[in-house]
Structure 1
Amino acid sequence: MKNKKEPALHNKRRKNNEESKWGYIFILAPLLVFIIFTLYPIIDAFIISFKEFKPLKTEWIGLDNYKNTLKNSLFYKSLINTVVYTGLTVPLSMALSFVVSILIVPLTKRKQNFYKAAYYLPAIASGVALSFVWKWIFDPLPSGLLNRLVALFGVNNQNWLGSSKTAMLSLILMALLSSHGTSIIIYIAALLGIDNTYYESADIDGATFFKKLWYIVLPLVKPTTVFLLVTSVIGSFQVFQNAFLMTGGGPDNATTMVGLLIFNKAFKYFEYGEASAQALLLTAIIGIFTFIQFKLTGDNVEY
């Protein structure tokens, strides 16, 4: 009996080894993509951050790029602009997305699909095309849509993108009115995943809509909220397109974000070493904010 079991055990191990081999082969492609397009650029940027770019060669300068960045007042201003932008857009966008999701869930399946598609449309539209639309909305001339709207309330024409007082608010307004599609779809999926028995029990106890919202919905969608909060903050700290296309960072650097500052350093002034140092500092800042968010909001959250 022992001799009969050994070949069977050997064949089983051989089959498992072949299956494992194919598994490694299948994950090799995404692993190579990650190494080539993510890991290698990070390592290369780390090395470049200790160098000064020159036309014929680069020179090793140690921590000078980091020191110059930490002494640069524009870096701190861009960081403050980014924090202000993030602090206003992320919580307001999440609140609006949650409210819209609550309103969409009771609708029929066909209406749900219509509204999800309508809200998600800006996410797949060209950022350049959307920027042209928003530039028309913020047009300082009386023909601008926003100026025509505020004129109804007796407000004079405003140079929304050309004034340091309103440029940042204009970018925030643009973000609040055009970037909810992904959050809404994720929130709707989370809300539809809540078991109806919770609501039935709450109805028996005579719970109001707001009590259901507070004691049932919010705790059960907390993992989704934490996920959206973390990813939204990370994305907002890397904001570039809106500032670049709408204001170019002006006026007087009022809308210069860290992402735009890094872009200008690298591709406008060709200071690749300092740009890499700023990018790595931004990465560290995002990591710290992410860690704090998980510590403050991630308790008792399972994914």
Structure 2
Amino acid sequence: MMTEAERAQPGEILMASPRGFCAGVDRAIEIVERALRKFGAPIYVRHEIVHNTYVVNDLKQKGAIFIEDLAEVPPGATLVFSAHGVPKAVEHEAAVRGFQVFDATCPLVSKVHVEVAKLAREGYEFLMIGHKGHPEVEGTMGQLSDGIFLVEDAADVAHAPVTRPDKLAVVTQTTLSVDDAADILAAVKARFPLVREPKKQDICYATQNRQDAVKVLAPKVDVVIVVGSPTSSNSNRLRELAARLGTPAYMVDSATDLQPEWLDGRPRVGLTAGASAPDVLVQAVIARLKALGSVSVRSLPGVEETIEFPLPKGLGDKSMAEAGF
């Protein structure tokens, strides 16, 4: 039984820890900003660099141009691949067109790409657990021309057109719900007992840590507010997780999205932010909550994240290769 001291006090904002930017997002934004400083505007970015409206608009103002089709990029331009990764066909097209390319793919996504390429050479087929249409899923599945099948839920596993059950591996979108992915993986293992799992879970450390922090936060508060954009997979999973734990939960792209009625009869507010949401947005939400009656802010203890990813060669710091990635 939780003591009153462990719960948020009425009028208190309780902050999940960790929350907000992860190392992969920090790195991706830094790549665009350094490219702008070094080469000048415009810098072209394939897809939103990370799924956050504020971040994308801020970089647009600094001279970044976000595109989906490489045909929109003029010859000789500098191009950045987003943190979600790209299919092999996009890499090839960029090389053929002669763009100067900086790859902001999160190193944890790149590790999945490397594993897919390695096992494909050994004759494996793949099941990918993920959300259809998400750019990370398109990038990972696009590492191969065939032999990789998407499963979005346990029901999909029964219909997966696997032809080599004895040479089957599973990979996962890095920003999924840890619990949902485990349920789907259990269905995969039940149908394909010989399936090869990753040596280390594909779901990234930041996604896991933020979900674990919500599991600690949600029981202590009356309502959970998640700062994140609607397109952000990991932010959506945080909101869903809090709701699944029985706490009303809402996601806001900015402080102006916060509705006063969400707080009616719910004086203890929990606050967290997805891995692509900057702290400036969190601070704005805190200011709005205080204007609506919250009186204090307290951070819960949590995992301290110290991981940093080096930048690509040509942008200043040590490259990924030099750092051993």
TM-score, with structure 2 as normaliser = 0.23
Q: Which has the larger radius of gyration?
A: 1
- Higher fraction of helix: 1
